[in-house]
A and B are shown apart, each in its own frame.
Chain A
Amino acid sequence: MSDTRRLIERLPNDIGGVPAPEIDRAEHELQIWEKRCHALADVLDFHKLINTEEKRCGVEALGSDVIGKLSYYERWIVAFANILLRKEVLTPTELALKLQEVQARWQMPKAGGTP
């Protein structure tokens, strides 16, 4: 009833005015991969592969459960992957094979190739 109505009336990103606790002013230094993720977002925008609004929608499409559990740049990179798959820029097979290949660099001794 009112629980589901809330889900329909407000998409996950639309939180203006909803009750929220005090602001936690702690700040963290970006990890290197987070900064690379940000640079990737900008470059994707330059090439019109994913623009800012598509990125925002891509995060929203993750749904509130995932949004609530992933950190800021974790949400971004998952959204990018989903959007690129949907646009058929990447295929699921390509991405799965690439993930295996990248992971293997850290599993084999002297595999080299930190990003």
Chain B
Amino acid sequence: MTDSDHDHDHDAIEATDSSPGYYELLEISVRELLIEKQLITAAEIRRQLEVLDSRTPALGAKIVARAWVDPAFKARLLADGRKACEEFGITFYDDTQLIVLENTEAEHNLICCTLCSCYPRPVLGLPPDWYKQKPYRARAIAEPRKVLAEFGTIVPDDVAVRVGDSTAMMRFMVLPLRPKGTEAFSEQELAALVTRDTMIGVVHPSLEARNPQ
């Protein structure tokens, strides 16, 4: 089979003058029927769209930066990821638990979901397309070092690579290693170094790749 999320043509699917494509029509129909039956409300959909928009990797970056500067917070984060995030004001809108995997000098972590696309959405927002597509899902658990190398990350042989394979209820996030040379950085400056991909574990934070502040 080919997992062709990205290699087939779509008709233009827009909620404008031109007729939506079949799948958008189906989405509208299912949603409206459920609203008419009073099983869900339009307000809930609108609210959830706002929630989805509010979740970005910047939230995870704040968590990581706090863990780097506050050992007690880090200990709580590693003990119970969800609870520590909630303490930080990040609500979990689903039933998932969060396990935070700490990168060390001896171990590098990578997260994936071989079965579908499970991802710590409350903390990182929606996953990148490649995370949901076959090549990453098929290869991350079988040949993680090769996958990492494709992202430009070479993990030395004496550093173990551990892959967290997510499930519907259990999500992972990587706590990357704090880069050297950041001893004088403020928490905010540290957060700017923490990109989405560093929390998936495919790259290391670097002083060259910063988030816009």
Contacts and interface: CB of A to CB of B under 8 A. Distances in A.
B45 interface: yes
Given A16-B141, A22-B135, A68 B3 contact: yes
A33 B130 contact: no
A44 B40 contact: yes
A99 B147 CA distance: 43
B142 A16 contact: yes
Nearest to A40: B31
Contact of B136 (A23, A33, A71, A90): A23
B93 A98 contact: no
A72 B3 CA distance: 10
A73 B52 CA distance: 15
A8 B65 CA distance: 46
Interface string A78-115: 10110010000110001100110111001100000011
A56 to B, nearest CB: 5
B115 interface: yes
Interface in B138-169: 138-139, 141-142, 147, 150-151, 165, 168-169
Nearest to B114: A16
| B: interface residue count bin | 35 or more
Contacts, number: 183
A8 B6 CA distance: 27
B147 A23 contact: yes
Contacts of A107: 19
Given A35-B49, A38-B52, A45-B94, A71 B138 contact: no
A53 interface: yes
B183 interface: no
Nearest to A99: B29
B23 A73 contact: yes
Contacts of B94: 42, 45, 52
Given A16-B165, A42-B52, A98-B29, 5 more contacts: A15-B3, A24-B6, A25-B130, A84-B34, A102-B32
Interface of A: 12-28, 30-33, 35-40, 42-47, 49, 51-53, 56, 59, 64-65, 67-74, 77-78, 80-81, 84, 89-90, 94-95, 98-99, 101-103, 106-107, 114-115
13 contacts: A16-B142, A23-B150, A24-B6, A32-B14, A39-B49, A43-B48, A47-B39, A52-B118, A89-B37, A90-B33, A99-B26, A102-B28, A106-B19
